[in-house]
Every structure is written in C-alpha cells, then in structure tokens.
Structure 1
Amino acid sequence: MRHQRINADGSGGNTAGGGMLPEQTAARSQSGLTRDFIARQSPTLSPVAMIADLPGVIYSGNDPLGTNDEQQGLSVRGLDQTEIGYVFENVPAAPPLFLVPYASSTADNENIAGITLAQGAAETSAPLYNAVGGVLSVRMRKPSDIAGGFIGGSWGSYNLNREFLRLETGRIRDTGVKGYASFSYRGADQWRGAGTSRRFHTDMRLTKEWQDNNSASLIFSFNRERGYYLLPPTLAQWQRLGTDANYAETFKNGDSSYYKFQENARAQSFLSAPVSLHLNRQLSLDLTPYFIYVWGYDSYGTSLNRTGSFYGNRPAGTLQVPTSLGRSFTAVATDVFHQSHPGLNTALHYEAGSNRLSLGYWYSYYDFSSVSRYVLPDAQGGVSNQWGAYPILTADSEPLSSYNAHLMQQVNALSLTDRLHLLNKRLTLSAGVRVVMTSRSVTNLLPGARYRNGASYLTPLPQFSASYKLTPHDQLYINGTTGFRAPSGISSYQDRFSMGTGLQTRVASSDTKPEYSIGEEIGYRHNGKVTLSVALFNYNFTNRQVSTTTVLNGVTTTESINGGGQTARGAQFEFGLRPWHGFSPYLSGQYIHATIDNDIQSGADYLPTKGKRPVRTPTLSGSLGLSYDDGQFFGLFNGHYVGPTYATFMNDEKISGFATANLSLGYRLQKTTRLKTPQIQLNLINLGRSGYLSGVSGVTLNRNATRGVFGTTIAGKAPTYFVGGGFAGVVSLSSGF
C-alpha cells in the first residue's frame, strides 16, 4: 500500500498511534516517538516539546514555536527536568551541573530517528546520576546507502524563517563508509515582547558497518543560539497584565527592565565516536568516548549604587563610572560561562546460552567556570559588551562581581547486570547494581567567601525486573528500582553576598544531601493491531530536590530546595491502533497521588507541609490524537490536558488546569526524476489559545505569611510562571533528492 512506503522525511505511516506507540518490550514503563510522529511536527520543536503527549509528561512551554530551551519546563510523574536524564546516542548530553536537557542543541529534527522516554529510574548501565524520574533518549538517523539529500524550508508566525539542507554521501566506493552533513538556520521574533532569536546548527555523521554486527561512527554537531529572556510573571502580574507582562520594548534612562538587557547566548560543540565490536560469539564490547564544550553568557538588567556597592563583603568604594550617572544608575549584569565535559561510556557483554552478563564503566570529567561582570549600556540602551571585556571597576580597579566560581567534577560509575531467559524465553529475569562515585570541588574568589568547598557522594543503586510473555503479543512485568540525583546548580556550594549591603545571603554548605528514590512498578502490554500499555507505580523519596530560580544582585541563578521525604503512587496508560484505512488513534493518561512526608525547614522554624501536595504534580493529565495517511494526504490532530498545579509547598497558590490542541495537515506531490516525495505541510499550534500559564517557573515554600511549627511568622514569596505560547502557524516545503 502507498502509505507503507518510506518517504523522504523518514515517515512510513505504519506505526500505531500515528507514530506514538512503537512496540516496547522492556520490563519497565517506556514510551516512544517514531518518524511518523516527528516528521508531522513543526521543524522548530525541540524533542522536549515533542514528548508532551506521552503519559506522565507535563511540558510547560514558553513559546508556541518550541524554540526556547532556556525557558521551558518538563516534569515526568511530578519530577522536574533536572531529575530526568537526557541521553543522546548513549552520551549524557545535559550539562552535568545544571542537568537541564538542551535537547535542540544536539540534533535537528530532520536528523532524529526516534525518541524514547522511560518513566522511572534509569537502567543500571545508563551514564547518568540524576535520573530518578526517567530517561529521555534521542537516536540520530543513520546515513543512507545511496547518495542524495533532503531540503526543506519553513515560514510562519512571528516572522519565522527556517531552512534545512542535508547531503548524503552514500557508500563511498569499497570503504563501506557512508555519511551525511546538514546545516540549518532559524530566525524568529519573540511571540510576546520584543526581540529576535537566531539559531545556527550543523550535524555530521560518518558510519562504517562490517560483518558480525560490528560498527563504528563519528558524530559531530554544533549549535549556536542567541535570544532574549521572557519575563516569568507572578500570578498577580499575570492577572493584571496577561501576555503584556514582559520586559520593556523601549529604553528609558534609569529603567533596567529593557528587553535588550535580558539576553542569552549559547554555543555547543558535541563530538562522540561510538564503537560496537563483537569479539567472538560470546563476547562483545561497546565504547563511546565523547567530548562536549559549551560557552556563552546570560545577561540581566539591574541597578547599582555608584558609592555604596559591595564587592563580596567588602565595600567597593566609588565605582569607576562617569559621575554624570548620579548615585544610582542602570547596569547590565553578565554571567559568562565555559563548560568542558569529556567522558567515556563502556560496556562489556558476555553471553552464554540463556544468560547474559554485562559489566559497565562510565567516567565523566566536568570543568565549569562562571564569573559575573557588570557593564554599562550606552545612552540608547545598546549593549555591545555582554562578554564583559570592559567591566565596571571598583575603586581598587577590580572588576565588580557578585560571584566568581570554578567547579571541577569527576564521576566514576561501575555497573554489573545479569539477564536470564527461562521457559523458552517467555520469562526474563534481570538483576543488577550500579555504584556511582561523584566528587565535586568548588572555588570562589569573591572577597569574604569560603575559598574552597565541595562534596563527594558514593551511592549504590540496585535494581531488579521480571518479564513474562503470556502470548507472543502480551507481556507482564514488574520491577524494583533505585535512583540518585546529586544537587543541581552551583549555589549550594557557595557563599553569597548582597551587593547593596555586603550582608551574607547564603552560607555555603559542605553537606548538601543528594536525592534518593526507591520505586516499584507493575505493568501489562499488548502489541498488535491494538496496542495497549498499563502500569501502576509507587515511589518513595528522601531529600527530594526541587529545582527553582532566584535573583540576587540582578543575576538569576538556579538552586535546589530540599523538599524532604515524598511519596507518590499512580497509574498510567497508552492505547492506540495500527493504521486502518489510513486512520490511527491514540490515547494516553496518568493519575498520580503524591504527598510531602514531612515539615520543611525555613530559617530556624519549619513550615507545616506534611501531607501537602508536591509542586509541579497535577493529579490528572492526558492526551488524545488521531492521525491519517493514505500516502498522498496526511494529517495529525493531538490534544493535551493538564490539571491544576500547585506552585508552593504550602499549597497556598496554584494555577488552573488547561488544554491545548495542535493540527498538522499535508500533501505529497508527485515525485520527479530529481525530487523524492516532495511535500507541503501546515502546522497549526495552540489552536484557540492566546496565552495561558503553562507551568511553574520559580517555586516557593509559601505564598502567604504562615505560622511555623515553632510559632514564628514565616514571610511568603510569590512564585513565578511560564506563559504558554499563543497561536502559531507554520508552512513547510520539503523534498528528498
């Protein structure tokens, strides 16, 4: 049938649920996306945005085009994105300290073969130390055997302009080597407020495969983005201003909220060389060396006092700026960072009969440096000095700074897993243990701060699973897992001071505790014309780490709040059909009941949070979809619902539930001698929406003043929120050649 062919964009129209229900066999909850779904999305969407309809996923978008990795939220079963491991081609691709998956930095959508989300702790062999809530894995497409390529262009709302080109070498003579290289550009205006974001991206892959399933690849990608932050409003700001709650579009002297001051730029180089060798009939070896380098800056508008500022806990004296600026003046706080992350992930497998023994070793080295600088804008609000080359100086001619940090981290992880097939491979038992050793050393050059700090964590992580095939199409499974997450961000290890008073606002801790989880699952799957997956799960956490953002001296930083113990129990399901007369439906949902198990410390007192609901954990969420593909016409509708969500640990502020819907329509033209399945596609995003609160950006302990357990009145603080994007339309033209 025509709709079963492989099109130039990689889709085939034959996956259940419109590409959202590829067959799964792992003894754990696991969902995925194939090219049938990925190719129907706007090419601007990141993988994080694309998994929004999978069970348990709460995606808090901040942009209808899905272009902003810097400002989006993700949670799975109530666990935020710093608790979700991100793996790209078997490489831990999220920054090891901040643990945010900058998924659009690693590959263009046209080069992604598939996406898998495991809801629950990572496998014992995974090169991760934060995956207590799941693992997001992205696979890159393999090079074609035939020379050719793919070209596409997209245009739409907010002056979107995107072009993509991939060139395939095919098999290079008798070498067996094949490869491709691609380049893309994207430019678009902010959907609210002023400013334009731009992205340049390159992907390359070379692969050689030879007898006995041996293979070797060289993968490289480069990504450079530059854009502006959008204001995350409080609930009061949202109710008063709606989508107009944002940074100022025009510059006024003395106003630090000008949008050009809130800029971010990030460039990433990614290199890996995965090798798979079958040494003999029983022994095989997988090696993946990698190197990731990231550099960039974040900037924020702020105000400084010319004669009353502090450098650490030391008076800065009279700052070296023109006296005509007066006592208080506008400045731009710039955070310049460099991250270097080499590593090696290895696994040795020994298979004898029904038994397979795997020994894994992962080594990771991470070097992170970050220094804040303050620079002056010109009279028109222009800033040409975000890199801080000409910073504001103190009276002693030192660059004014609110922090100057350097972190070095080493991770050594050993894993041992034994898998056993019994009853003619109907029963599969697996048991393993992973030991993760993490060591961090931090220095702080700020006057008055503790110079050296750090921490070491040694964590054993046992796991067990069992899977039984009732029939060739039906599977039962159970598992018991453990998970671990080291604290994210650098703030936990640093002394911080107010630039206005010199008073210490945070004391560095040398005993910051990592998060630890114990989880159990039981599930059932049916694969066939009807695909069904149902799972029940239970989690218990100690030292639950919740990521949030705070602002000090004009600079936004990421911190972890220790939420203590937490219990979560729930159920999830997926249902779909293989294409029938071109149609394929999809349905998914999750119910979760989670509670905080203890009172949470605030200063010298405790907030009465025991029994409250955790933040970012709506009780109900779900999705439905319907796809159609007859080989010429194709389309995909998907809708998503998220229930009310608490933003504070005291449950004294929450946002309402919301529903979103997207529609994709397309038509394939007749192929020619030069063009392979040329097509036109229309994506309509956020149908009927003009902006909504899509999730919690900065959580707080309590919104209202609250009486503590010991009688102290604990002041409240307003949470901030992501504003979900308004409506957008994207038209794309593409073709293979």
Structure 2
Amino acid sequence: MRLSNRNILLCCAAFLSGNGLHFSKAVAQDSAQPQLKAHRAHPAKASATPPAQHRRPSVTESGVLGPATPQTEEISVSGARRNADGTTNTTPGGGLMPHQTAPRSQSGVTRDFIAKQAPTGNISSMIANLPGVTFGSQDPLGVTGDTITMRGFNESQIGYLFEGAPLADPINYQPYTSMLVDTENLASVTVSQGSPDLNAPLFNATGGEITATALNPSHHAGGYMSVMGGTHSANKEFMRLETGDIGQSGIRGYVSFSHLSNNNWRGPGGLHRYHIDAKFVKEWGQDNSISAIFGYNAQQQTSWREPTAAQWAASKASVYYSPTYTPGNANYYKLNFSGFNSLDVVAPMHFTLSDEIHLNITPYFVHQHGPSTGGENIPASGGYNGTEQYGNLNQPYATNNTLTTASVDPWDQNSSAINNSISWTHGHNNVTFGYWYSYTTHQEVETFTPVNYEGEAANLYGKYPIYVPGGRILSGYNLNFKQQVNALFIADTLKLLNNKLTISAGFRAAMVSRSGTNNVPGADPYKVAGNYFEPLPQFSASYQITPRDQVYINGSTSFRAPESVEAYSQIFDPNSASAVEQPGSLKSEYDISEEIGYRHSGLYNFQISLFNANMTNHQVTSSGYLPYTNTLISEPINVGGQTSRGVQAELGLRPWHHFSPYVSGQYLHATMDNNVPVAATNAAGISVIDYLPTAGKKAVDSPKFTASVGLAYDSGHFFGNFDLRYQSKMYSTFMNDQSMPGYVVSDLALGYRLSKVGPLKGPKIQLNLINLGNNIYRSIPGSSAATAMSRKGIFGNSVSAGSPVYLVGGNFAALVTLSTGF
C-alpha cells in the first residue's frame, strides 16, 4: 500500500513541477533538502506521506499532542531552488508566516527570514516580529541580555524547546538563547502564544511555548562559511563542515565552529564567544531515525547597568560601569561580568514498531555554569558571614576598614532527562501515552576575592576565596539544590467527517520535587523542600471548512513551579547582620486559557485569534540588585490573580513578483485581580504587612498594543528585508504610577548572491542595518515594584516607594557579512 501511494504522489509531483505549479502543505518549516520529502528520507528514497491513520501525530494535526518529532518539516512539491544559506523564497511574509494547522494560536519563522538577519542574533531576536511577542534587547547585535514577553507573560513563563529538549535553565527558566545554536544552523522557530504541547517536557510554560530546530545535515559533502564585521568592533567567523551520506550507513552529519566578539555599545567592555554545533542523523526503513545533537558554548561578557527612571532622565544611555579604577571603586567594569558556558546533548529517536504503533524517545543532558561576578566593598573587619560577625580578615589593600572585592558566583548546574511517548493509531483514532523524567542538581557558592590598587582581582573564578577567622569561607549564600520531575500524559485524537473535524483531549499529571540547603552560618531555614502536583487537562477541536480555511477552539491548563533557587533560600551579605533577601512565595502559578481562531492559506495567508487567560498565584519575575552589591538576582513576586484577554492577527503574502509583505498585531487587556500585599511600617515604626489597592490595575510587562510590518524582496540574486516594530507603553509598577513609553524601531537588510563561482556555491554579500533611526530607548522593564511613590496602604500603614530598573535598547549598528557554500 505504501509503495503505491508513494508512486502516485511522485507522479503528481512530476506533473505539477513540469507545469511550473507550486503546491505547499507546510506542516511546519523545513531546513533540509529542496526535493520532495517525507519523514526526512533521502531524496532517492523519498516516500509519500502515508495516510493520516498511519502517521505519527503531530502538533499540526491535534494541537494537544504536539510534535512527536522535534524536527519540523515542510512537505512540498516545488521547483524552487534552495540557496546555500538555506533560503528558498517560498514562505509567505518573507519567512515570517509559514503555514499552520494546529488548533491554537501559532506562528513561526523559516530560513527565508532567519538567513537575512544579522548573524549575531539568537532565537528570541528572530521572533521579535511575530504577533504577541514583545522583544526587549540590550545591544543592537542581539547577543546579550535580551528578554521577551508574550501576552504579558515573561520569558520565565514561556517554555523553550530546542530539538524537543528544554535547554533553558530548569530552575530559573531563563533560556539563555545566545548559548543554544548559531543562527547559521537554525532551521526554524515556532511560537505557540497561548498554550504548550501536552507532551512537551516543560513545567513552566503558562505563557506558551517556543520550539526551535537545527538544520538537518545535507546528503552531500561540503559546507558553509561566513565572516562578518561591523560597528562596535563586531566580528564573527563561522564554518560548517558536512559529511554527506557516509557510505551505505544511512548516517550523515555536520560540525560547525564560530567565534564572535564585540565591544559594548555603551560603556567599556564587551563580549567574547566560542561556539560549537554538531548534528548527526541515522535513518533506516520506514520512518526510523536516531539523531544526535551537540552544543558547546563558552562566553564571557561585561554586565549591563540597568538604569532607574530617575537615572534615565538624568543620563539616558550613559549609565554604565566605570572604565577606570580608583581604590574603592566597586563599579569598575572588569569586576562586573558574567560567563555563560554550556554543554548540551540531545538524542531524539523515532521508531516505527508497526503500521499503527510508533515510539519516540528523547534523552538529553545539559550542563551550564558561570561565573557571575560583581564588585563590592565589604568590611575588612567587623563584617558578617551569615549572621556571625567576623574579626580581621587580614587581607591586603584595605583602606579605612573597607576592602574592595569581586563577589564571585561560580554557579554550576547539571540536568539529565528522558522524554518518551508511544502512539497507537487505529482507523480514525489515535491514542498517545508518554512519560518524562528529569533530575537536576545545582550548586551555587558565593565567594569573595580581594582587588589590588590597580583594580586587579586575585581570582575571578572563585578558586582562592577569602576565609574568615576560624577557617570558614566568607559567603553570602552556599546553596545545594536538587530537583526531580515526573510527568505522565495521555491523549486521544479523533478525526471525523472525512477528516475535516479533529477533536483532541488529553490529561497530564506533573510532579515536581525540590529540596535545597544553605550552608551559610545562621541560615534559617537551613533546608527547604517543595513538592508540587498539578493535574493539567487540555481540549481542542478544529474544522477544515475548505482546504484553505480552518476554524478552531481550545482550552488548556498549565502551571509553573516557583522560579529560582533564591525563592527557597535566604541571601546574606558581609555588610549586614541579617539576611538581605528572604525566601519568596513557594506557591505554584496555575493558568487556565481559552482560544478561538480562524486561519486562511493561499496566495495570502491570514490568521486571527481571540484569547482569554486566568492565572492564580501569578508570579511576576523581577530582577533586582542585592543591597550593597552589583549583583542582580531574580525575585519572584506573588501578585495573586491576573486576567489577560485580547486579539492577535497576522497577514502574509506569498512571494508575488519577488515581494512578500507581512503585518502582525495584538491588542492586550491584562489586569490584576487582587490587592497586592506589601511590607509597610505602622505608626509605631513596626514592620507590618499591608495591602495596596491594585485590583483592576493594568498588569506590568503588558503593552496594550504591539504591531509589526515587514516587506521582503528576493529575486534569487538581489534580496532585501525591511521590518518595523511598534510597542505601546508598559507599566513597571503594580499601582501604575510609573511606566515606560512606547517606541518604534526598524531594521533593514540588503544583499546580493551569485549562483556559483568555481567551487563556491551561492556566494553572498549581505548588509544589515539595525535600529535605522538610532533610537535610544528603554526596551523593557527589568524589574517591577509595588509603587513608585510613597503612599498609605489600605489599612493606613506607610508603604515605601520602589525604583524599577529598565533594559536599554541598542543603538544603530551596521554589519557586513560575506558567506558561501562549498
């Protein structure tokens, strides 16, 4: 049966191709080969897509199950030529609107867009134009310190998957996207703005899911290389070597290496990054495959200063670390930097056990470590190690009992996991069962190292710490943390009415167990444990009105365990006799969301959805400086309930006379449901808990309007890409008494590619102009506060003002890239 189906489809392909027609049914996007493909088979052995009842379920078919394989693909019959950079100029909207069929809000980007962006970017910067996405950067190159929100949810509430594995930090949920993959190897990114896949190995995705995939290895030996240079002394060198098919083994793969460096656009310092990507694939039989994906990253960057509103009004972008050192200057830039180092291994495996049964196994391992370093002045004697006062530290370079040090946090984290699922398809029904297990260990011991009179620290990696009299290490926190996750899910998908109607329902049970200790003297509690169990049902239904028109509805639930190790432990400082940071809320965030939507595909592609989300124990993630220090930590704040409602839409045109326009937008109405408890002082000067009247106030990090406009042109030789993004104001306080104004920013790419020059395939020159208007702006709040003005609480107690900090968007940059395949 399969053989005849394959022959029929190939004959149709030949007929359509011969008549210059295009047919594209994009299950998602592909980055691999231009020929007719199905299940990543070699072109010479390509098989047609089997009937629906014999296929592994995917996100585009059910929306509840999510992709059974992390490698998203486009099934196409087309005469389009794939260029050396992976572009085909076939995706609507210039690569910003691939075809979707999932019964939920879902958008994406393909190589048609990714390849034309600055090669310094990352996964987050690639999706900045999609509906519902608010992207805040700190540099024009997209290398460091960016963040996103979607529908008012910040990135710690969004699940990040790379090749089916959650490579974000499993405790503080930060994705560190610049560490994951070079954009030259990035095939596609898919964004689900409202709900995660039921089988996704995530327990923080209350705000949606972002799924990225790497390029598939080529069947032909060769490679790709590029060099880039530009403003801010930016330079990047990249090379990918492809093995092609290795004999008759069915194995093919690639390995790539890159180096990137640049100077900070404001203030001294900069970044150095070394990165390795590798991917190998083994395929055999009917839809059997094993992939091995490796990633290594070594990165060090000077930290950014995040100004308050008052500092911004006084100095704009001139708030940064000191370029020179004088004794006692803890703000010297060489004492304030971060290291982002990682090793990732993911091995997705897919097996066809029979025509009706398919097995998916994805083991993965992630190792991430620092250090994070910040300058601090501490007492040379009479300070505190936890709650114990110490005597003379007997350190050189002390002045007036003040010792300038570098506070070093060489955090280290390992996570091992396996995600499994088995699906049985019979007739029009598919049942899938899965299990995910993850084990994570985290160690974080702050140490201090002295700084000499020239600003040089004894050791910036924590190997030679300061000891207090008696032999203990001087530390503000000495954390050991363990986490185990067990999750089970079962889902059923039923196709009716000649496969026009698809109904899916599923249930997931997630169990998270955590325990941590703090070995600093006087820590109370010394040990904290948290156990979380959440039942998570999902439902969706879609109806294919015509082959090009679809309507859908869905209802989903999701939760997020408390964020960050600091939520469980006290933080101390040598300048204080008591803890400067107390444990946060240990309740899990729970979200119930609904969507209804419509989409059309064809010459123009259009989709619109209305959404509603209700959260309890909403954890607003804020980054704040520890008292006395330059150390930023995550501070989860439980603000109670929040309701987010709105509408999002996007429109993209298929290439027409080489032009592909795109537009997207979102209206969001997000409000707080409860009055927020805050620390206050009564008339007797005693600290108490009061409440601020925040119920009904606009939620922080939730712009009312966002919009994007794009226009792409690609003739095969000349190409260009213009995009413009608008974001309305965002509140940074729960009382709505401080906000960040809206802004507009735009980028432009221009280039020319040749077909072939000798052994060079598709040599290309590309110019990227970033932030064309050199707009100096605050891009997104970096922290939140209850109120920006001192005021009385509901019970008449005095509440002090807070000072939110902000990320500063990068200025203008120009980058030139030369690249070629070979």
Q: Which of 715, 719, 735 is the aligned partner of 2:800?
A: 715
Q: How does 1:1-150 map to 2 (within 5 A)?
A: 4-68=80-144, 71-150=145-224
Indicate yes or no: 2:750 matched with 1:672.
no
TM-fit CA distance, 1:498:
4.4
Q: How does 1:145-544 map to 2 (within 5 A)?
A: 145-322=219-396, 324-383=398-457, 385-449=459-523, 450-508=525-583, 512-544=586-618
Distance 1:240 1:396 in 2: 47
Residue deviations 1:153-210 (CA, integer Å, cap 9, x gap): 1100100110000011110111111111100000111111111211001011111111
Corresponding residue SS for 1:239 = helix
Q: Residue 227 of structure 1 aligns to which amino acid in structure 2? A: Q
Distance 2:396 2:319 in 1: 33
Cα pair distance change 1:262/1:324, threshold 3 Å: closer
Corresponding residue SS for 1:698 = coil
Distance 1:85 1:308 in 2: 46
Larger deviation, residues 301-310 vs 465-474? 301-310
Aligned to 1:565: 641
Distance 1:36 1:323 in 2: 57
Residue deviations 1:228-260 (CA, integer Å, cap 9, x gap): 101000011111111111111111111111111
Distance 1:508 1:679 in 2: 53
Corresponding residue SS for 2:334 = helix
Distance 1:433 1:229 in 2: 43
Corresponding residue SS for 1:41 = coil
TM-score, length-scaled by structure 2: 0.88
Distance 2:762 2:665 in 1: 35
Corresponding residue SS for 1:37 = helix
Larger deviation, residues 457-466 vs 304-313? 304-313
Corresponding residue SS for 1:91 = coil
User: Percent of aligned pairs with the same residue?
Assistant: 43
Larger deviation, residues 661-670 vs 546-555? 546-555
Cα pair distance change 1:597/1:391, threshold 3 Å: same
Residue deviations 1:683-705 (CA, integer Å, cap 9, x gap): 00001124210000111111111
Residue deviations 1:471-508 (CA, integer Å, cap 9, x gap): 00000000001110011111121123343231234444
Q: Residue 584 of structure 1 aligns to which amino acid in structure 2? A: S
Determine which structure has greater relative contact order: mean sequence separation of CA pairs < 8 Å that are 6+ residues apart, divided by chain length. Answer: 1
TM-fit CA distance, 1:399:
1.7
Residue deviations 1:658-711 (CA, integer Å, cap 9, x gap): 000000000012412301110100000001124210000111111111210111
Cα pair distance change 1:259/1:66, threshold 3 Å: same
TM-score, length-scaled by structure 1: 0.98
Is the Cα–Cα contact under 8 Å of residues 3 and 13 in structure 1 kept in the other structure?
A: no
Is the Cα–Cα contact under 8 Å of residues 683 and 730 in structure 1 kept in the other structure?
A: yes
Is the Cα–Cα contact under 8 Å of residues 320 and 393 in structure 1 kept in the other structure?
A: no
Distance 2:375 2:196 in 1: 40
Aligned pair count reads: 734
Corresponding residue SS for 1:240 = helix
Is the Cα–Cα contact under 8 Å of residues 228 and 260 in structure 1 kept in the other structure?
A: yes
Q: Residue 620 of structure 1 aligns to which amino acid in structure 2? A: F
Q: Which of 592, 595, 599 is the aligned partner of 2:671?
A: 595
Corresponding residue SS for 2:756 = coil
Q: Residue 572 of structure 1 aligns to which amino acid in structure 2? A: Q
Q: How does 1:594-633 map to 2 (within 5 A)?
A: 594-603=670-679, 604-633=689-718
Q: Residue 710 of structure 1 aligns to which amino acid in structure 2? A: F
Cα pair distance change 1:732/1:323, threshold 3 Å: closer
Is the Cα–Cα contact under 8 Å of residues 483 and 518 in structure 1 kept in the other structure?
A: yes
Corresponding residue SS for 1:75 = strand
TM-fit CA distance, 1:319:
1.7
TM-fit CA distance, 1:5:
1.5
Residue deviations 1:6-59 (CA, integer Å, cap 9, x gap): 100000111100000000000000000000000000000011011110000111
Is the Cα–Cα contact under 8 Å of residues 179 and 340 in structure 2 kept in the other structure?
A: no
Distance 1:264 1:513 in 2: 30
TM-fit CA distance, 1:108:
0.8
Is the Cα–Cα contact under 8 Å of residues 731 and 740 in structure 2 kept in the other structure?
A: yes
Corresponding residue SS for 1:158 = coil
Is the Cα–Cα contact under 8 Å of residues 3 and 630 in structure 1 kept in the other structure?
A: no
Q: Residue 163 of structure 2 aligns to which amino acid in structure 1? A: E
Q: Residue 698 of structure 1 aligns to which amino acid in structure 2? A: S
Corresponding residue SS for 2:782 = strand
Distance 1:194 1:544 in 2: 38
| Greater fraction of residues in strand | 1
Aligned to 1:547: 621
Distance 2:297 2:79 in 1: 34
Is the Cα–Cα contact under 8 Å of residues 320 and 392 in structure 1 kept in the other structure?
A: no
Is the Cα–Cα contact under 8 Å of residues 3 and 631 in structure 1 kept in the other structure?
A: no
Cα pair distance change 1:711/1:475, threshold 3 Å: same
Is the Cα–Cα contact under 8 Å of residues 339 and 368 in structure 1 kept in the other structure?
A: yes
Q: Residue 560 of structure 2 aligns to which amino acid in structure 1? A: R
Distance 2:116 2:146 in 1: 22
Corresponding residue SS for 1:691 = coil
Indicate yes or no: 2:775 matched with 1:701.
no
Distance 1:303 1:323 in 2: 12
Larger deviation, residues 445-454 vs 612-621? 445-454
Residue deviations 1:280-331 (CA, integer Å, cap 9, x gap): 0110000001111112210111111112211111102222313753312321
Aligned to 1:728: 813
Distance 2:581 2:656 in 1: 61
- Residue segments in structure 1 that go unaligned for 5+ positions in a row: none
TM-fit CA distance, 1:3:
10
Is the Cα–Cα contact under 8 Å of residues 3 and 14 in structure 1 kept in the other structure?
A: no
Is the Cα–Cα contact under 8 Å of residues 475 and 573 in structure 2 kept in the other structure?
A: no
